Amino acid sequence: MFRSPIKHCRNCGTAVVYRLPDDGDTKERAVCPACHLVHYENPLNVVGTVPYLDDRVLLCKRNIEPRWGKWTLPAGFMELGETTLQGAARETDEEAGAQIEMEALFSVLSVPRVGQVHLFYRARLLSDQFNPGHETLEARLFTEAEIPWDEIAFRTIRETLVRYFADRRRGRYEVHTVDID
């Protein structure tokens, strides 16, 4: 089971203990023995897009770790105060400087090992001109045959791309849910 290392209470600073809370909860939680605050740990949401233009998709070459120099779809952590759609559009602008029209939710990938849920939307590119931000070395369009499959940064990206191109060939897009161990 994934557990992030909460060591101290965010309320009073006392070292926490992992145990079942007194409220009838059935999962061990970080509980402060001094002020009794229960610290709930929930997955982080990663939001992004599958930006496409005709038969090509936009990939970004990472200029940050992890996986510096590898290719990814534009995506990142969702911010407080934004919807998943807003976050995906923001990440696409920040990482690729791409002008897009947001479309439907495409994939939801659960990655419990690292406590994350990834959500990707299809996004129609309005231009083939990009202005990548500081997290991106290069933003480029690829056909399915041109994708550098051995240089894809994360399994969530690979799984999303495989499903995108399969749906494209069928002429029908579905919402895909994937669990990644």
Torsion angle defined by CA atoms of residues 163, 145, 99 and 79, in that order, rounded to the nearest 10 degrees? 40
- Do residue 70 and residue 153 come from a single domain? yes
Q: What CA–CA distances, in Å, run from 133 to 14, 136, 164?
A: 40, 6, 25
Tens digits of residue pLDDT in 5-31: 899 999 999 999 999 998 889 999 999
- Do residue 117 and residue 28 come from a single domain? no
Q: What is the CATH number of the domain that holds 124?
A: 3.90.79.10
Distance of alpha carbon 116 from the chain centroid: 8
- Do residue 49 and residue 37 come from a single domain? no
- Do residue 29 and residue 57 come from a single domain? no
Which pTM was predicted? 0.89
Q: Which residues of 37-56 are buried (b: 16+ CB within 10 A; e: fewer)?
A: bbbeeeeeebbbbbbbeeeb
The pLDDT of residue 3: 57
Q: What is the CATH number of the domain that holds 20?
A: 2.20.70.10
- Do residue 101 and residue 149 come from a single domain? yes
User: What is the distance between the alpha carbons of residues 65 and 17, in angstroms, rounded to a whole number?
Assistant: 32
> Are the beta carbons of 149 and 158 closer than 8 angstroms?
yes
- Do residue 79 and residue 160 come from a single domain? yes
Domains held by the chain: number = 2
- Do residue 136 and residue 123 come from a single domain? yes
Residue 87 belongs to domain spanning: 44-179
- Do residue 59 and residue 122 come from a single domain? yes
Tens digits of residue pLDDT in 103-148: 999 999 999 999 999 999 999 999 999 999 999 999 999 999 999 9
User: What is the distance between the alpha carbons of residues 16 and 105, in angstroms, rounded to a whole number?
Assistant: 39
- Do residue 27 and residue 53 come from a single domain? no
Tens digits of residue pLDDT in 144-175: 999 999 999 999 999 999 999 999 999 999 99
> Are the beta carbons of 18 and 28 closer than 8 angstroms?
yes
